[in-house]
C-alpha cells in the first residue's frame, strides 16, 4: 500500500513538471506527512550541510569543471583527426573514428552530454564531405557519447557510489572492460551495417603511414590525462576527488600550452561549473532527504515482503528492475531518473543477492540506453542540436541499432558477470 502510494506521488509530482530537486523534496514531505510518526523535516538542515560539505562529493564539481576546461582546451579536434588516420580504413570510415574518439574522450570526461557535444561538433562537418549515410553517422555520435559515463571517470558512478556506500575505485575498475567491449560492439554495429549496405560507408579517406605517425602525438594529451586521473586511483595514490583535482590542473596546463588560458575563459568555466553543480546538488540533497523518509517509514522492508509474498526469484526481481528502467528511461531525464530511483531499487537488488558494484555498472548501461531512446534521450537532443536542421527522427532512427548493441551488452553482463567483476576482483 505504502509502496503504491509512494510511487503514485512520485510520478504525479515529477510528471507535473515541477523541477526535479524541489519535486523530490515535495515527495519526501508528502510521504513524511502521511506515514512517518515524527517530523523528519527537522533533519533537512543538517542533511543539506553534511551532504554538500562531503569531501567525496566534491569530486562531482571537480569532474564538471575538468570537463568545462577540456571543452575549451582544443584537444578534441586534433584527437579526432588522429583517430581518423588510424581507424578510417575500416568499412564505415569516419564512423569508427567517431566511436573511438568518444571512447577516448569519454575516458577523460565524466559526462555523456559533454562527450557527445564535443565530438559531435568536431565530426558533424564530415557527413556531407564524404557522403555518409547521415542517420547512421548521427547515431554513432549519440551512442558513442554515452560511453562518457561508462568509461571512468564517471559522474554517475560517483553519485551511485555515495548514495549506496559502494567503493568508487571499484566501480571505476568495473567500468573499464565493459566500456571497451561496448566500444567494440558499437564499431561492430557500424561494420555490419556497412558490409550489408556498402553505400552507407561514404567515400574513402586518404590516409598514409607518414600521416599516421605525424598525428600520433595528438592522441597523447587525453592519454596522459587518463593516466593521471584514472591511474592515480587504481594504484591507490589518490582518491577519486584528489585525482579529479589533479585532472583540473593537468587540463589547465594543456590549455595554457595551447595558449587558450585566459581570464574570460576561466570565468566561463567557473560560472558553468557552479550552475551545473547546483542543479545536481539540489536533486541530491532532496534525494538524501527522501532516502531518510523512505527508510523511516519502512518502504524497502515492505517491498521486500511483497517480493517474498509473491515468491519472486532473484532473476525475476532483476528483470523487473531492468524493465522498470527501460520504461522510465524513455520519458524521464536520465540523471533525475537515476537519483530518484536508487534509494528504492538498490536495496531490492542487494536483498536479491546481487553485487553492488555489478549493479552500479548495470545501472550505468541502463542510463546509457535511456540517453538514446526516444522520446526523451538527452544525447539525441544534443546531436540534433548540433546538426541544427532536419528532423529529430533522423537521430532516433540512426541510434536504434546502437540501442540494440546496448541491450546486447546488458544481456552480456547479466549472463557473464565476470566482464564487470574480473578487474575489481583481480586488483583487490
Partner 1 sequence: MKRLQAFAEAISRGGAIVGGAMLLVAAITICVDIFLRYAFSLTVGGADDLSGYALAISSAWGFSAALLTRSHIRIDTVYVRVKNRAARAALDLLSVAAFALFAGLLVWHGWGVFQLSYASNSHSQSAIEMPLAIPQGIWFAGLAFFLGVALLLLGRALLACARRDLDELFRLIGSKSAAAEAREEVVAVERAMEAERRE
Residues 384-413 that bind partner 1 (CB under 8 A): 384-386, 392
Is 332 among the residues that bind partner 1 (CB under 8 A)? yes
Nearer to partner 1, 3 or 266 (CB): 266
Residues 356-385 that bind partner 1 (CB under 8 A): 375-376, 378, 381-382, 384-385
From residue 168, give the alpha-carbon distance in Å to each of 153, 156, 160, 230, 425: 10, 10, 9, 11, 14
Q: Which stretch binds partner 1 (CB under 8 A): 157-165, 275-283, 359-367, 418-426?
A: 275-283
53: helix, strand or coil: coil
Residue 16 interacting with partner 1 (CB under 8 A)? yes
Minimum separation from the CB atom of position 304 to partner 1 (A): 28
Shortest distance, position 374 Cβ to partner 1, whole Å = 11
Q: For partner 1, give the closer residue by CB, 120 or 343.
A: 120
Q: Which one of 19, 312, 408, 414 is in contact with partner 1 (CB under 8 A)?
A: 19
Write the interaction track for partner 1 spanning residues 127-166; mark x where CB under 8 A is met and - where it is not: ----------------------------------------
Task: Give whichever of 248 and 410 is closer to partner 1, judged by the CB atom.
Answer: 248
Residues 6+ apart with CB under 8 A from 179: 103, 106, 107, 147, 150, 151, 152
- Crossing angle of helices 112-123 and 134-150, in 10° steps, is 150
- Nearest Cα residue to 69 out of 118, 26, 36: 118
Does the protein bind partner 1 through residue 22 (CB under 8 A)? yes
Find the binding residues for partner 1 in span 91-130 (CB under 8 A).
113-114, 117-118, 120-122
Closer residue to partner 1, CB minimum distance, 114 or 364:
114
Q: Which of 267, 305, 393, 411 contacts partner 1 by CB under 8 A? A: 267
Least separation, in Å, of the C-beta of 335 and partner 1?
A: 7
Which residues, 220 to 239, sit near partner 1 by CB under 8 A? Answer: 237-238
Of 35, 180, 331, 422, the residue at the interface with partner 1 (CB under 8 A) is 331
Q: Which three cell numbers stand for residue 201?
A: 560507408
Q: Is 15 exposed, middle or buried (0-12, 13-18, 19+ CB in 10 A)?
A: exposed
Q: Round to whole Å and give the CA distance between 342 and 287.
A: 9
Q: Which of 253, 284, 225 is nearest to 106 (CA)?
A: 225
Picking from 205, 184, 257, the residue whose alpha carbon sits closest to that of residue 82 is 205
Judged by CB under 8 A, the stretch of 166-174, 210-218, 219-227, 282-290 that binds partner 1 is: 282-290
Answer for which of 31, 32, 61, 303 binds partner 1 (CB under 8 A) is: 61
The site for partner 1, by CB under 8 A, has a size of 86
> Contact between 274 and partner 1 (CB under 8 A)?
yes
Q: Which of 272, 258, 265, 261 is nearest to 74 (CA)?
A: 258
Q: Tell me how far, at minimum, the Cβ of 338 lies from partner 1, in Å.
A: 12
Sequence-distant contacts of 122-125: CB under 8 A, at least 24 apart: 122/76, 122/77, 122/80, 123/80, 123/94, 123/97, 123/98, 124/386, 124/387
Amino acid at each position: 500500500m505504502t509502496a503504491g502510494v509512494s510511487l503514485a506521488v512520485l510520478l504525479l509530482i515529477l510528471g507535473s513538471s515541477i523541477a526535479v530537486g524541489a519535486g523530490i523534496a515535495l515527495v519526501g514531505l508528502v510521504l513524511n506527512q502521511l506515514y512517518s510518526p515524527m517530523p523528519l523535516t527537522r533533519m533537512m538542515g543538517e542533511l543539506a550541510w553534511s551532504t554538500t560539505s562531503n569531501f567525496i562529493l566534491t569530486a562531482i564539481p571537480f569532474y564538471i569543471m575538468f570537463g568545462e576546461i577540456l571543452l575549451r582546451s582544443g584537444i578534441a579536434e586534433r584527437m579526432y583527426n588522429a583517430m581518423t588516420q588510424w581507424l578510417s580504413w575500416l568499412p564505415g570510415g569516419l564512423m569508427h573514428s567517431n566511436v573511438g574518439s568518444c571512447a577516448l574522450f569519454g575516458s577523460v570526461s565524466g559526462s555523456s552530454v559533454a562527450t557527445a557535444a564535443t565530438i559531435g561538433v568536431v565530426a558533424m562537418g564530415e557527413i556531407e564531405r564524404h557522403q555518409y549515410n547521415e542517420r547512421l553517422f548521427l547515431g554513432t555520435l549519440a551512442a558513442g557519447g554515452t560511453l562518457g559515463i561508462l568509461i571512468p571517470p564517471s559522474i554517475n558512478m560517483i553519485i551511485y557510489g555515495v548514495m549506496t556506500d559502494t567503493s568508487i575505485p571499484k566501480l571505476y575498475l568495473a567500468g573499464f572492460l565493459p566500456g571497451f567491449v561496448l566500444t567494440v560492439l558499437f564499431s561492430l554495429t557500424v561494420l555490419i551495417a556497412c558490409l550489408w549496405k556498402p553505400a552507407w560507408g561514404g567515400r574513402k579517406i586518404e590516409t598514409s603511414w607518414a600521416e599516421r605517425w605525424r598525428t600520433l602525438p595528438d592522441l597523447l594529451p587525453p592519454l596522459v590525462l587518463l593516466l593521471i586521473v584514472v591511474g592515480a586511483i587504481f594504484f591507490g595514490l589518490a582518491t577519486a576527488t584528489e585525482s579529479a583535482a589533479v585532472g583540473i590542473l593537468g587540463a589547465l596546463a594543456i590549455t595554457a600550452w595551447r595558449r587558450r588560458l585566459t581570464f574570460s575563459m576561466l570565468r566561463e568555466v567557473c560560472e558553468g561549473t557552479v550552475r551545473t553543480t547546483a542543479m545536481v546538488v539540489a536533486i541530491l540533497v532532496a534525494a538524501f532527504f527522501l532516502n531518510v523518509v523512505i527508510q523511516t517509514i519502512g518502504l524497502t522492508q515492505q517491498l521486500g515482503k511483497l517480493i517474498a509474498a509473491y515468491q519472486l526469484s532473484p532473476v525475476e526481481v532483476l528483470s523487473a528492475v531492468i524493465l522498470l528502467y527501460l520504461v522510465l528511461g524513455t520519458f524521464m531525464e536520465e540523471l533525475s531518473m537515476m537519483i530518484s530511483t536508487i534509494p528504492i531499487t538498490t536495496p531490492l537488488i542487494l536483498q536479491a543477492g546481487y553485487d553492488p558494484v555489478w549493479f552500479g555498472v548495470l545501472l550505468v548501461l541502463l542510463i546509457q540506453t535511456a540517453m538514446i531512446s526516444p522520446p526523451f534521450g538527452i544525447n539525441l537532443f544534443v546531436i540534433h542540436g548540433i546538426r541544427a536542421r532536419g528532423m529529430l527522427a533522423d537521430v532516433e532512427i540512426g541510434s536504434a541499432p546502437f540501442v540494440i548493441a546496448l541491450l546486447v551488452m546488458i544481456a552480456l553482463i547479466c549472463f557473464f558477470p565476470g566482464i564487470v567483476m574480473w578487474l575489481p576482483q583481480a586488483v583487490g
